[in-house]
């Protein structure tokens, strides 16, 4: 894994611990794809004073610097296709050449290594050789799934206009069975038998607390002397002590509920059993994990072995999750400081030097 690393005004690459693997050389790295499972070598969009180009971590060039594009974008499922832009219109660069000029409002990779292109309200289709085989005059273009068409040695497209429907034919690109899409597997839903809450249980709780609100037939939000907590209604145990100004269900960590609590005007995170995840010292904790303290921002990543990212940035947002192992995706965040942008890993490592 090679992550963009900024050293003052230049960008290079480092590993997940911040060790430099490619010395800083670029004015800016605008976009990148990280290698997953060895499927491809990573891609990086490099910005110069005049243009953009694309390389891998070994600086092998995939889209040369000598071009007139205004910007280049990458897509994670297509590491060798580069969407190129000029004067607000998009084209496509693939296999060392521009196969679609920047003439369209949208270019979408579809079946048979072909591309649906849009201009205004109409669509056309460009095949794998870069030839416009369906003219720009239709409202819908799709593969024909009729049995005879599907078994046709040619690839059959159906193009539909306002009052017309027409078939178009192209050479069929031989693909492996799993090249398009994947089998959908139904997820298993654990069905938990709900236990009916006896009114006597609620009445019993009201003898001890000023207010009781039953939640999910298993816990109760309780209030005592103006402070809030949570009680397991079956064993009457206070899983969150009633000492907080606010108690809100937040998210899950290790398949257990995490609660956002407010104490003395500051927010923290805890789990049942009064297990502290974050001390109550933050001005705000957003649902997306952003933590705020003294107008600076950090991040709490719940399902990780690392502590939180300290709140010392002007802004922070998650931009990528990089697969390291089957059960571990490494979170990468874009931050801003007074001196510019940089990247920070979920391990707190800063991939920049100001």
By the 8 A CB rule, do 354 and 339 touch? yes
Categorize the per-residue pLDDT at 216 as very low, low, confident or very high, splitting at 50, 70 and 90: low
| pLDDT tens, residue by residue, 248-300 | 989 888 888 899 999 999 999 999 888 999 999 999 999 999 999 999 999 99
- Do you know the residue count of the chain? 354
| pLDDT tens, residue by residue, 83-140 | 999 999 999 999 889 999 999 999 999 989 999 999 999 999 999 999 999 999 999 9
> Looking at residue 23, what is its pLDDT?
94
* Backbone angle region of 218, left / alpha / beta, with phi > 0 → left and psi within -120 to 50 → alpha: alpha
| pLDDT tens, residue by residue, 145-158 | 888 888 889 999 99
Q: Compute CA distances 329 → 36, 129, 238, whole Å.
A: 10, 37, 35
What is the rounded end-to-end Cα distance, in angstroms, of the chain? 23
Mean of pLDDT over the chain: 87
Is the confidence at residue 165, as pLDDT, over 60?
yes
User: How many whole angstroms separate alpha carbon 124 and alpha carbon 139?
Assistant: 9
Report which DSSP code applies to 350: B
Is the confidence at residue 307, as pLDDT, over 70?
yes
> Looking at residue 50, what is its pLDDT?
87
Q: Mean per-residue pLDDT for 317-328? A: 85
Provide the H-helix boundaries in the chain.
Answer: 147-150, 199-208
User: How many whole angstroms separate alpha carbon 49 and alpha carbon 62?
Assistant: 19
Range in 179-188, 303-312, 325-334 the model is least confident about: 179-188
By the 8 A CB rule, do 354 and 8 touch? yes
Q: How much is the pTM?
A: 0.70
User: How many whole angstroms separate alpha carbon 143 and alpha carbon 72?
Assistant: 29
Categorize the per-residue pLDDT at 81 as very low, low, confident or very high, splitting at 50, 70 and 90: very high
Helices (H) and strands (E) in the chain, counts: 2, 34
């Amino acid at each position: 894994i090679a992550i963009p690393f900024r050293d003052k005004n230049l960008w290079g690459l480092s590993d997940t611990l911040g060790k430099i693997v490619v010395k800083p050389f670029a004015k800016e790295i605008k976009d990148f794809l990280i290698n997953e499972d060895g499927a491809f070598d990573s891609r990086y969009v490099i910005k110069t004073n005049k243009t953009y180009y694309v390389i891998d971590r070994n600086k092998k060039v995939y889209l040369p610097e000598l071009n007139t594009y205004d910007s280049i974008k990458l897509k994670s499922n297509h590491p060798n296709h580069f969407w190129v832009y000029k004067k607000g219109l998009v084209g496509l660069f693939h296999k060392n050449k521009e196969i679609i000029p920047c003439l369209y409002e949208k270019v979408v990779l579809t079946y048979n290594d072909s591309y649906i292109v849009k201009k205004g309200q109409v669509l056309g289709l460009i095949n794998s050789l870069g030839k416009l085989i369906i003219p720009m005059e239709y409202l819908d273009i799709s593969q024909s799934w009729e049995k005879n068409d599907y078994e046709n040695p040619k690839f059959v497209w159906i193009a539909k206009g306002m009052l017309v429907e027409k078939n178009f034919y192209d050479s069929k690109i031989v693909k492996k069975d799993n090249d398009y899409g994947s089998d959908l597997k139904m997820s298993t839903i654990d069905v938990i038998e709900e236990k009916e809450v006896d009114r006597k249980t609620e009445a019993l709780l009201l003898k001890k607390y000023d207010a009781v609100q039953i939640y999910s037939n298993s816990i109760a939000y309780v209030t005592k002397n103006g402070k809030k907590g949570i009680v397991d209604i079956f064993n009457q145990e206070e899983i969150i002590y009633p000492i907080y100004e606010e108690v809100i269900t937040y998210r899950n960590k290790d398949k257990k509920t995490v609660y956002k609590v407010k104490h003395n005007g500051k927010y923290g995170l805890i789990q049942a059993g009064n297990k502290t995840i974050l001390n109550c010292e933050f001005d705000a904790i957003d649902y997306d994990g952003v933590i705020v303290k003294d107008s600076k921002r950090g991040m709490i990543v719940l399902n990780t072995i690392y502590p939180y990212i300290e709140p010392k940035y002007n802004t922070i947002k998650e931009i990528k999750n990089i697969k390291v192992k089957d059960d571990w995706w490494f979170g990468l965040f874009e931050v801003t400081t007074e001196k510019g942008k940089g990247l920070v890993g979920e391990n707190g490592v800063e991939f920049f030097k100001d």
